[in-house]
Amino acid sequence: MRIYALLCIIAIAYCTQTTNQASMFDEQLGLLTKSKLGKTMLNMISLQQFTEVDFSPLYAAIDDIVASTQQAKQDEAESLDSFYQQFLSDSEFYQNQVTEYNTEVAQHQSDITTLKKDRNSLQQSLYDKSQQLSDSQRNQAQLQRTVQNNDQATAKKTAEYDSSISIVDQVIAKLQLIKQSSFIEVNKEDLAVSAATFSRRLSEVSHLPHLFEPLSKVLVQMGTQGFADQEQAGNAVKLLNSLREDLVASKLALQTNAQLEKDTNDGLLASLEENINLLNNEIIPQLKGDIETKDGEIATKQGLLKDAQSNLDTAQANLDNVNAGWVARQEQNKQLNDGWDNELMLLSQAESALERGGIRRQ
């Protein structure tokens, strides 16, 4: 409305100037008569020509408009400065929030990476210990079978030695009869049969050839001579006693070595059993518990990360809104000032036009 009024003032001024120079602008005046606004302006100009009109109210109005416009510009400048101060405060606040939440997000991400690395390490340890448990159990089963087989082999070998010693003892007892003075009372046929039987049974201890072979020869010769040679019988007894001593020594060596090996294996079995119990009852359950704890810590950190990321997004959105608000406010300020500057320019032009039309301040 103020722009319209200013245009009217300028039009009046120019029309006044045009009337004073009517000889030069008859055509323009004719054009003005064709519109109501133009006729009104011409009437005002005619009135100014034939009457003394006081234009001081008009200049007062112009001064009021200029003053109010300048006041509006000053108020807008103060409002803009206040808005700017608030913008700086809000911008700093949300920027600090963005920085804080960025740091928090980065810290949570780093913590999660570390926790996952620790969790993977625990998982690898659990796998290794489970593999170690499996190996220990397999070794234990194999060693138990070995101990069982060794015990069976030792028992069998010991029984063989006992049987051999028993056979030797029986042969010695028979041969002792030959050396007795009542030998002639012994049935020679029975001795021959017994000797043949002993020879056959002694073959069962043929694993000692250095004793078995000469002993067999003696028994064969004695059987050929009808067991009448006491010297041969004495030699046979000596050989049999040597054989018996070797059998006893071999049996004792077998039992000693078997016991040593059994003690060693029992020690290994005890160590394996202890390791298996430790893995089953302590280490593996502890690792599983640690993994479960790490999973809980990771889940907690992921929740904190989600919250921090949400806070960061909100702070960033607020910061963006504050920045966008400042840009919009600056644009608004520019538009207002452009309008007011345009009004002031029009007012200045109007006053100049009035002066050129002969209407001056009184």
Task: State the average pLDDT for the chain.
Answer: 80
- Token duo for residue 73: 């510009």
How many Cβ atoms are within 10 Å of 178's Cβ, its own excluded? Answer: 20
Answer yes or no: are the C-beta atoms of 190 and 197 closer than 8 Å.
no
User: Angle, to 10 degrees, between the axis of helix 56-178 and the axis of helix 188-202?
Assistant: 160
Give the model's confidence band at 33: pLDDT under 50 very low, under 70 low, under 90 confident, else very high: low
List Cβ neighbours of 169 (8 Å cut-off, separation of 6 or more).
Answer: 244
Give the model's confidence band at 200: pLDDT under 50 very low, under 70 low, under 90 confident, else very high: low
Question: Rounded to whole angstroms, what are the CA distances from 335 to 73, 170, 332, 340?
Answer: 11, 136, 5, 9
Answer yes or no: are the C-beta atoms of 215 and 236 closer than 8 Å.
yes
pLDDT of residue 84: 97
More confidently predicted of 143 and 354: 143
pLDDT of residue 292: 97
pLDDT of residue 148: 95
Span 79-101, mean pLDDT? 96
pLDDT of residue 179: 61
Question: CA gyration radius for the chain?
Answer: 65
Residue with tokens 């009517």: 22
pLDDT of residue 52: 59
How many Cβ atoms are within 10 Å of 46's Cβ, its own excluded? Answer: 11
Could you read off the pLDDT of 93-104 as tens digits, one per residue?
999 999 999 999
3 state SS for 304-357: HHHHHHHHHHHHHHHHHHHHHHHHHHHHHHHHHHHHHHHHHHHHHHHHHHHHHC
Could you give phi then psi for residue 35, rounded to 5 degrees? -125, 155
More confidently predicted of 46 and 87: 87
- Token duo for residue 217: 């020869």
pLDDT of residue 325: 96
pLDDT at 188 over 80: no
